[in-house]
């Protein structure tokens, strides 16, 4: 069965420090991979996605993620965190067929940013 694991429930990072959020997935084949962010009182917003090709993908707000097939991982990184990055981050996997496209989300990692 498909699953997404985000091992860290919450992470605290100092402003200006680097960030890495972990994500591991279980899937029969290489799925589409996504990172979404949810700020308080707002809907989820796509940060970046990976379908194929270059395993390092760039997203919005200075985020990037690297797909590692051998580790079934898709970790999110940012070189320098800003206070406005404090939010909940969700890793997701998806796959389509003629019957539709189903996206499964992890439990999320809450990011706290300290001054």
Partner 1 sequence: DAGVTQSPTHLIKTRGQQVTLRCSPKSGHDTVSWYQQALGQGPQFIFQYYEEEERQRGNFPDRFSGHQFPNYSSELNVNALLLGDSALYLCASSTLSGGGRSSGELFFGEGSRLTVL
Contact residues: partner 1, CB under 8 A: 4, 6, 32, 34, 36, 41-46, 49, 51, 90, 94, 96-108
Question: Is the Cβ of residue 69 or residue 101 nearer to partner 1 in the bound state?
Answer: 101
Name the burial class of residue 70, with classes exposed (0-12), middle (13-18) and buried (19+) by CB atoms within 10 angstroms of its CB: exposed
Question: Is the Cβ of residue 97 or residue 115 nearer to partner 1 in the bound state?
Answer: 97
Which residues, 6+ apart, have CB-to-CB distance to 83 below 8 Å? 15, 113, 115
- Residue 50 C-beta: closest distance to partner 1, Å: 10
């Amino acid at each position: 069965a498909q699953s997404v694991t985000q091992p860290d429930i919450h992470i605290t990072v100092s402003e200006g420090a680097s960030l890495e959020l972990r994500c591991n997935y279980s899937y029969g084949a290489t799925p589409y991979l996504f990172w979404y962010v949810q700020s308080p009182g707002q809907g989820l917003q796509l940060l970046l996605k990976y379908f194929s090709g270059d395993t390092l993908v760039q997203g919005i707000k200075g985020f990037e993620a690297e797909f590692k097939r051998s580790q079934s991982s898709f970790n999110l990184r940012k070189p320098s965190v800003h206070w406005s990055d404090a939010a909940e981050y969700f890793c997701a996997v998806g796959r389509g067929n003629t019957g539709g496209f189903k996206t499964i989300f992890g439990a999320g990692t809450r990011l706290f940013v300290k001054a």
